[in-house]
């Protein structure tokens, strides 16, 4: 059996959970999941859609928001009872943190950012995983029972395999120390519109936008195309846009049908976040910018004069 840890945000399931369940099913037919927090009930049906047969639900009001060590305790409690062959999670900061705690407590290795996983023996596995921002693909042998691994975003395409998932509600054995790290406050803009990680179109801006004002044009274009706005780290570091919109190694990894990059040079750390796009369109005044070699369509132009024209054409094409 493969056990997956599923993160959620106040009941909204992590969209990557479907991919993790799909990866787990490619290893073993029996896939079970752990979720925590008394507000997580609505994730159960969603997990059933992706072939998860049993959802172990750690019901506890104190875990309504993400609580890393307590989540690890919940997974450990289920591991004790069910002896899974592998425990997987999405390779997000949270997934890596929870499995990192489990690895430390159980003194087991953790393979993060895996794009392929095969169990080769009772306590051995082979994994392929992205290193150095995706520039190096490493194949590793891992010894540990169970295997602990996190799954790289968009390494697999989520495939539905509907089953009626049953729920196993349980009390999470917690001490006060398990609750020392948790979310105490949430500030900043609440996400609206299409989520960056699952958007089919991402309209992204970099330093070439010359300031926060020009992002109004990207918002407009994203709105017409039904997409989301993204940006480079220079942009978030300058405070032009929130970190939630950063695409890249230390931001969100996206896999849209179309990624439009305006005034982004294409540093390896940025490409690490958008290389799964089906079509990459780059607009840059510099024909030699690295992003132009990655782009399916490389447009050498000034974004400030091109964007108003694009918006007008997109609006006309959509009849909006």
Ligand X SMILES: Cc1cc2nc3c(=O)[nH]c(=O)nc-3n(C[C@H](O)[C@H](O)[C@H](O)COP(=O)(O)OP(=O)(O)OC[C@H]3O[C@@H](n4cnc5c(N)ncnc54)[C@H](O)[C@@H]3O)c2cc1C
The smaller minimum CB distance to ligand X, of residues 221 and 303, is found at: 303
- Minimum distance, C-beta of residue 290 to ligand X, in the bound complex (Å): 8
The smaller minimum CB distance to ligand X, of residues 48 and 273, is found at: 273
Q: What are phi and psi of 261, to 5 degrees?
A: -115, 115
Taking residue 301's Cβ as centre, other Cβ atoms within 10 Å add up to 13
- Minimum distance, C-beta of residue 287 to ligand X, in the bound complex (Å): 9
Burial of 243 (0-12, 13-18, 19+ CB in 10 A): middle
The smaller minimum CB distance to ligand X, of residues 22 and 265, is found at: 265
Q: Quick one: which of 150, 147, 126, 258 has its CA closest to 201?
A: 258
Residue count, binding to ligand X (CB under 6 A): 28
The span of 31-39, 74-82, 216-224, 246-254 binding ligand X (CB under 6 A) equals 246-254
Please name the residues in contact with 196: beta carbons below 8 A apart, sequence gap of 6 or more. 202, 228, 229, 230, 244, 245, 247, 252, 254
Distance CA 305, CA 22 (A): 44
The smaller minimum CB distance to ligand X, of residues 105 and 132, is found at: 132
- Minimum distance, C-beta of residue 315 to ligand X, in the bound complex (Å): 21
Question: Does residue number 206 form part of the binding site for ligand X (CB under 6 A)?
Answer: yes
Distance CA 67, CA 70 (A): 6
Distance CA 32, CA 54 (A): 5
**Residues in 260-299 that interact with ligand X by CB under 6 A:** 263-265, 267, 269-270, 273, 283-286, 289
- Minimum distance, C-beta of residue 247 to ligand X, in the bound complex (Å): 6
Rg from Cα positions in the chain: 21
Q: Quick one: which of 176, 161, 148, 22 has its CA closest to 75?
A: 148
The smaller minimum CB distance to ligand X, of residues 50 and 262, is found at: 262
The span of 7-15, 62-70, 73-81, 302-310 binding ligand X (CB under 6 A) equals 302-310
Distance CA 221, CA 312 (A): 9
Q: Which residue has the tokens 């997934």?
A: 95
Residue spans of alpha helices (H) in 26-67: 43-49
Distance CA 143, CA 236 (A): 39
Which listed residue (304, 311, 314, 315) binds ligand X by CB under 6 A? 304
- Minimum distance, C-beta of residue 291 to ligand X, in the bound complex (Å): 7
The smaller minimum CB distance to ligand X, of residues 57 and 270, is found at: 270
Question: Does residue number 248 form part of the binding site for ligand X (CB under 6 A)?
Answer: yes
- Minimum distance, C-beta of residue 280 to ligand X, in the bound complex (Å): 14
Distance CA 69, CA 144 (A): 21
The smaller minimum CB distance to ligand X, of residues 84 and 251, is found at: 251
> Taking CB under 6 A as the rule, which mask of x and - marks residues 21-60 in contact with ligand X?
----------------------------------------
Which listed residue (48, 51, 208, 227) binds ligand X by CB under 6 A? 208
The smaller minimum CB distance to ligand X, of residues 22 and 284, is found at: 284
Distance CA 46, CA 15 (A): 10
Question: Does residue number 232 form part of the binding site for ligand X (CB under 6 A)?
Answer: yes
The smaller minimum CB distance to ligand X, of residues 90 and 291, is found at: 291
Bridge pairing between strands 86-90 and 110-119: unpaired
Q: Which residues bind ligand X (CB under 6 A)?
A: 206-208, 232-235, 246-251, 263-265, 267, 269-270, 273, 283-286, 289, 302-304
């Amino acid at each position: 059996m493969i056990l997956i840890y599923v993160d959620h945000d106040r009941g909204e399931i992590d969209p990557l959970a479907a991919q993790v369940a799909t990866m787990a099913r490619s290893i073993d037919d029996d896939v079970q999941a752990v979720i925590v927090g008394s507000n997580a009930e609505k994730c159960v049906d969603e997990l059933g859609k992706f072939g998860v047969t049993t959802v172990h639900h750690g019901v506890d009001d104190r875990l309504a928001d993400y609580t890393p060590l307590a989540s690890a305790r919940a997974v450990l409690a289920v591991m004790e009872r069910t002896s899974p062959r592998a425990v997987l999670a999405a390779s997000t900061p949270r997934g890596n943190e929870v499995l990192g705690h489990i690895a430390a407590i159980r003194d087991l290795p953790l393979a993060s950012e895996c794009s392929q996983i095969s169990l080769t023996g009772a306590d051995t596995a082979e994994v392929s995983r992205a290193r150095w921002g995706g520039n190096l693909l490493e194949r590793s042998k891992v010894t540990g029972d169970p295997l602990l691994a996190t799954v790289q975003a968009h390494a697999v395409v989520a495939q539905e395999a509907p089953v009626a998932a049953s729920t196993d509600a349980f009390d999470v054995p917690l001490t006060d120390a398990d609750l020392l790290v948790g979310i105490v406050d949430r500030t900043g803009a609440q996400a609206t519109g299409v989520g960056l990680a699952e958007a089919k179109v991402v309209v992204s801006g970099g330093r070439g936008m010359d300031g926060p004002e020009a992002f109004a044009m990207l918002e407009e274009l994203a709105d017409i195309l039904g997409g989301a706005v993204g940006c480079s780290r220079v942009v978030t570091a300058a405070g032009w846009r929130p970190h939630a919109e950063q695409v890249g190694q230390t931001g969100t990894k996206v896999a849209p049908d179309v990624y439009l990059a305006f005034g982004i040079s294409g540093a390896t750390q940025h490409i690490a976040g958008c290389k799964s796009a089906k079509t990459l369109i780059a607009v840059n005044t510099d024909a030699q910018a690295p992003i132009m070699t990655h782009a399916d369509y490389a447009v050498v132009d000034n974004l400030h004069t091109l964007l108003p024209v694009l918006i007008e054409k997109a609006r006309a094409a959509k009849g909006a």
